[in-house]
Structure 1
């Protein structure tokens, strides 16, 4: 997590990153975030419609399907990431009840109240307006349904951390906007989303590869902000 000058928009960044983007949590921050998200996800999703908004390479679609989700839709802004997700889902032999669609978080191509569970992992930080993103997640979730949503902890950007990757020997970062807990609270209150649970996971030292160079402060602070929200009946 170091400072870089080549900062790309999400569309530009993921177009480059997609070819090598795994369908699993592939760094210690994502591993910490995923443990918290999965702890808040229902263990049994049989009979449920699950939407993954900003699905990337499909990692949370895979988790939902393994927990028995009946129908899943993955939406992502990046066509390259959707192709990656399709390849991963096919490789894992999931092909029934699955849809993939291109679209942004400001206008998800999903019917009102379609999802019993809506997931959005590490996506909203790519958007400048948190309220607009949560409004769409609220719209596509049925009354009484749940939204699992995560972001890089606001401490990270304050310390200069970036969401970076390497492509053709050059390192890039994807643009990120810091959203404070107070922003989440205000947006949820305005939209009728109840904050049922919030987690602030920290790194597990066991996840850090031997000899890795990173900001040691990361071991002393939360690295993600993870919410379970509930749409009012």
Structure 2
């Protein structure tokens, strides 16, 4: 297998967007999504939901299915936002929708915009975890919920990459591992209470027949998932 070319996230997703679907499309994402959806309120009627690092829009689609009235998506990649725009084209007739280019480290939204903020598999692309969590807290109303997930740091230690192929060439997006202790300190500084934390593992049934993967992936957690509440 050819060696992956390491790219900064914005450049990586500019390439990846052309084939990036708006659903969990690999076993790690499926494991992560099961836990995120279990933590996401089942009834979002009348609620404002912000997806910070929305990508192709998968969690915005889930939020709309649960009745969210106002949806805001922010992503650093114009190409990924274009995918989200296409995937969410029917949502505008059902809910208020706004998509904007921006960084999780500096969200282009007002204070307290969201009742529920989602940030799925994004913060590993941000070296400054504390700054990003402070922004997620700012964008969420006091008493509101922040749901965050990221790839488990054990995967980084085992040499796993956030990789993909375009025209036969492997690429990988730069990733910064964040330990639980980093999350704990950053949440405390941002005024976020950790209400729940999960470490999902792969479901062997999600692995396609004949897939090539590290067998260690079945013995270790593949994601960290947090449900947080803004205190102030």
Q: What is the TM-score of this pair, normalised by structure 1? A: 0.97
- Deviation at residue 189 of structure 1 after TM alignment: 1.0
- Indicate the residue corresponding to 2:186 in structure 1: 187
Matches within 5 A, 1:1-233: 4-90=3-89, 93-95=90-92, 96-233=95-232
Instruction: Extract unaligned runs of 5+ from structure 2.
Output: none
Distance in 2 between residues matched to 1:36 and 1:87, nearest whole Å:
26
- Deviation at residue 5 of structure 1 after TM alignment: 4.0
Residue correspondences, number? 230
Local SS of the residue matching 2:33: helix
Distance in 2 between residues matched to 1:58 and 1:14, nearest whole Å:
14
Distance in 2 between residues matched to 1:153 and 1:8, nearest whole Å:
20
Distance in 1 between residues matched to 2:54 and 2:2, nearest whole Å:
26
Decide whether the 8 Å contact of 1:9 with 1:175 is kept in 2.
Answer: yes
- Gap change, CA 1:11 and 1:71, over 3 Å in 2: same
Distance in 1 between residues matched to 2:80 and 2:149, nearest whole Å:
19
- Deviation at residue 106 of structure 1 after TM alignment: 1.2
Distance in 1 between residues matched to 2:38 and 2:211, nearest whole Å:
27
Decide whether the 8 Å contact of 1:3 with 1:160 is kept in 2.
Answer: no
State the Cα deviation string for residues 181-229 of structure 1 (Å, max 9, x = none).
Answer: 0000001111210000001000000000000000000000000000000
- Gap change, CA 1:131 and 1:208, over 3 Å in 2: same
Instruction: Extract unaligned runs of 5+ from structure 1.
Output: none
- Deviation at residue 4 of structure 1 after TM alignment: 3.9
Decide whether the 8 Å contact of 1:195 with 1:230 is kept in 2.
Answer: yes
- Deviation at residue 3 of structure 1 after TM alignment: 9.2
Displaced runs of 4+ in structure 1, greater than 3 A?
Answer: 2-5
- Deviation at residue 168 of structure 1 after TM alignment: 1.3
Query: What RMSD over aligned residues (CA atoms) do the two structures have, in Å?
Result: 1.1
